[in-house]
Amino acid sequence: MPLRKEPTEIRYLYKFKFDDGTEKNFEVVLNSTTLELIRDDPNPKPEWTRLKYAQCENCPLPGTVAYCPVAVSLAKLVESFHDAASYESAAVTVETAQRTYFKKTTLQKGLSAIIGIYMSTSDCPVMDRLRPMTRFHLPFANSIETFFRSVSSYLTAQFLLMRQGHQPDWEMKNLQGIYKEVNLVNKGMTTRLLKATEKDANVNAVVILHSFGDGINYFIESGLSELEPMFEVFLKDAAASEISAHVHSPASTHPSR
């Protein structure tokens, strides 16, 4: 049975309400098929969004591109919070078509969630590899939730590659390489935002994303040990099937003399 056809757009409405009663709202709109950001670029674009202003060391974009696509996407959000401090308290509400999320948290954590969407959907060739995760965006996610979504997204891609006759990477060796490149973009964006803002809320929001990127490498190298107990039923079933197959094999029932 086919899934119900989705609307042509996916919307994430972020509402920041501060202790002094002020509110700031930002809506992220994505194409529901491609998950590409439906842009609402500032005009004119700030000087700090120029590609050469603080270009990431691994940026693959040619010199003919005038502006960093991620920086342009972030411009209105960054300008709005350019003088905000990381640990300022905020009540953050995120509204989607399916549900509403709410958390009383620090501004940097609220910003980190929305910045992550912008960075993954802005046509940056490096960050685009994380784009499928935005379809299942989870505001205020902790490390284990983010790692699970990342691994699940990557392994889904490997399954689709296999279906198309390509060699899948079931051991996730290339996922670590992807996050190495992503972290270079996070580093470059941090440098860019340091020059573009007066206080640290925007900068530290990207630092949080960088810490997730660092953590995924350990998570994979550990063999997903933190997840293993959750999948014990599958592991037991597999072990039982192997024992049963061995017991009923011809070699077991008719030993050589």
Tell me what pLDDT residue 257 has: 42
Through-space distance between the first and last CA atoms of the chain, rounded to whole angstroms: 55
Tell me what pLDDT residue 252 has: 52
Cβ atoms within 10 Å of 166's Cβ, excluding its own: 10
DSSP for 216-246, written as a single string: HHHHHHTTSTTTGGGGHHHHHHHHHHHHHHH
Mean pLDDT, range 152-174, rounded to an integer? 96
Q: Is the pLDDT of residue 18 over 60?
A: yes
Tell me what pLDDT residue 197 has: 92
Tell me what pLDDT residue 254 has: 52
What is the rounded CA–CA span in Å between residue 34 and residue 222?
33
Tell me what pLDDT residue 60 has: 96
- Segments making up each domain of the chain, as ranges: 9-253
Mean pLDDT, range 96-125, rounded to an integer? 96
Token code pair at residue 109: 């954590």
Tell me what pLDDT residue 172 has: 93
Average model confidence (pLDDT) across the chain = 90
Q: Which of 96-110, 140-154, 186-200, 207-221 shows the lowest per-residue confidence on average (mean pLDDT)?
A: 207-221
Tell me what pLDDT residue 121 has: 97
| Contacts of 77 by beta carbon, 8 Å cutoff, 6+ apart | 26, 111, 114, 115, 118, 202
Tell me what pLDDT residue 214 has: 84
The tens digit of pLDDT for each residue in 41-65 reads: 888 999 999 999 999 999 999 989 9
Cβ burial 225-256 (10 Å sphere, 16+ → b, else e): eeeeeeeeeeeeeeeeeeeeeeeeeeeeeeee
What is the rounded CA–CA span in Å between residue 148 and residue 114?
19
Cβ burial 167-178 (10 Å sphere, 16+ → b, else e): eebeebeebeeb
The three-point CA angle 61-65-70 to 5° equals: 70
Q: Model confidence at 224, in pLDDT bands (50, 70, 90)? A: confident
Mean pLDDT, range 160-177, rounded to an integer? 96
Tell me what pLDDT residue 225 has: 87
Q: Cis ω on the peptide bond leading into residue 44 (within 30° of 0)? A: yes
Mean pLDDT, range 103-120, rounded to an integer? 96
Nearest to 12 by CA among 127, 108, 136: 136
Q: Model confidence at 243, in pLDDT bands (50, 70, 90)? A: low
What is the rounded CA–CA span in Å between residue 153 and residue 58?
23
The tens digit of pLDDT for each residue in 68-101 reads: 999 999 999 999 999 999 999 999 999 999 999 9
Q: Is the pLDDT of residue 242 over 80?
A: no
